[in-house]
Amino acid sequence: MQNAQHDLPELTRSDLGVHFARLRKAQRAQPFPDWSQRAARLLALRRLLLENRQAIIAAINNDFGQRPAQETELLELAPTLAGIAHALHAGPRWMRARRRATGWQLWPARAQVLPQPRGVVGIVVPWNYPVFLAFGPLIAAFAAGNRALIKLSEASPALCQLLQQLCPHYFAQDELVFLGGDVSQAKAFVELPFDYLLFTGSTSVGRSVMQTAAKNLTPVTLELGGKSPALILNDYDFEQAVSRILYGKLVNAGQTCIAPDYVLLPRGREADFIAIAKRWTQRHYPDFPQDFASMATPAQYQRMQKIHDDALTLGALAHALVPPQANSAESRFFTPYVYTGVPDDARLLNEELFGPLLPLVPYDDLEQALSYIDQRPQPLALYAFTRSRKKQTRILRETQAGGVTINDTLLHIAAADLPFGGVGQSGMGAYHGQAGFDTFSHLKPVLRQGVVRAMDWLEPPYGDVFARVIRLLLK
């Protein structure tokens, strides 16, 4: 089962320049759209999704090979529509000028922060959640009053072609443009002098994007990845923890940037985890691979096989969670596995997996588990399962992660007003909700001074009045 071929026209640097110049000209002609104009764009975005729901689902399924329609609805369309609804409700409040204190020294001045649209923003989208990771940033960009160029992955040709066909029916050509293209065209895209650039993808490519953007001093948000741990403590219901971890791991076949990437569990509970995981998986996927996503590209499938083989070569044990399948490079379905006895130098414990592979790492006490997390690069997400508020607080204070869900997985990304982003090697900056609005706004500081001012007492020639006032200021 191969991705269907879609003959998208090759995008040249000249084409990119034309698109960018058109949006830049329109933004300069209307640098501060009022809320009615911003809301109209958000409503158009909602209509595009709702009126073309089945076509979008089919396009994503085509690009993946197999992606359950229900997963596209639940994990892409539903949170995107929730984000639009939240922005429509809260946007007028976000765009108001925000009062700030000045201190008596600047009396009678008044200060405020004015959120101002940045201008033309670029959004680079990966293949794993192409709607949510394109429209999520776009919601914030539109709410903040910007126009946007969106670069979709070369692994999403059917969706790209569909959105290119649909976009002119909902947006003017100087409001929003969807682009496709290969790696070379992606490089040309990030070389454009955007007013802001948001990239979602791997850490290695993120470094390159940041270097390229720096040539234009383009500010960037990088949403990257990393090995997101799931930590189970003894006080939590073990079966429920395993079930929630398995859901977060196997939805979209693990091709989720915030999927649990390894499990820290009390030593001696490995066999319990495997038994529960097998029961859960076979109950939820009784006719595997029905209701299960395929690896989205041949390269992704081959990478899973190499990581799996590397672990076995180094002595790890692989436990299939469904009756062993004849993994097929043609269909690209990969059997979900849990691994025990994984050596520290295995790829399983050193690379973001992005697939249905889950290594177990036993620990003896919480101190050891937190130390294990701390010794590794900061992950994009962290999941902790404990009923103890005291232990929850300790975990939150002693670990760093882009975001955290306590006693579940994935859900922090779906909270419309929680910032979403990474820290350290898992990224920088954040979006969603007001954090997204602020990301795509220049928060311009403004001070308004009165006719008479305290500073008049500090002008030369410096005499007794100056001396008395400066004594007050220097206290």
Residues with a catalytic annotation lie at 223, 257
What CA–CA distance (Å, rounded) separates 163 from 174? 15
DSSP state of 283: H
Residues 6 or more apart whose Cβ sits within 8 Å of residue 324: 335
Sign of CA dihedral 36, 42, 48, 51: negative
Token digits for 148? 């946007």
Q: Contact at 8 Å (CB) between 178 and 56?
A: no
List, in sequence order, the alpha helices (H) in 215-297. Answer: 238-250, 270-284
Token digits for 296? 């989205």
Sign of CA dihedral 18, 23, 28, 29: positive
What CA–CA distance (Å, rounded) separates 338 from 269? 13
What CA–CA distance (Å, rounded) separates 83 from 160? 22
What CA–CA distance (Å, rounded) separates 442 from 227? 32
For 421, the enclosing helix (H) or strand (E) is strand 420-421
Residues 6 or more apart whose Cβ sits within 8 Å of residue 412: 381, 403, 404, 405, 418, 420
Q: Contact at 8 Å (CB) between 232 and 385?
A: yes
What CA–CA distance (Å, rounded) separates 423 from 247? 25
Cβ-based burial of 92 (10 A; exposed 0-12, middle 13-18, buried ≥19): middle
β-partners of residue 433 are: none
What CA–CA distance (Å, rounded) separates 130 from 134? 6
Q: Given the structure tokens 């779906």, which residue do they identify?
A: 414
Q: Contact at 8 Å (CB) between 264 and 373?
A: yes
DSSP state of 423: -
What CA–CA distance (Å, rounded) separates 117 from 113? 13
Q: Contact at 8 Å (CB) between 19 and 149?
A: yes
- Of 110, 95, 102, 142, which Cα lies nearest the Cα of 123? 142
With vertex at residue 287, the alpha carbon angle to CA 285 and CA 288, rounded to the nearest 5 degrees, is 65
3-state secondary structure of 440: coil
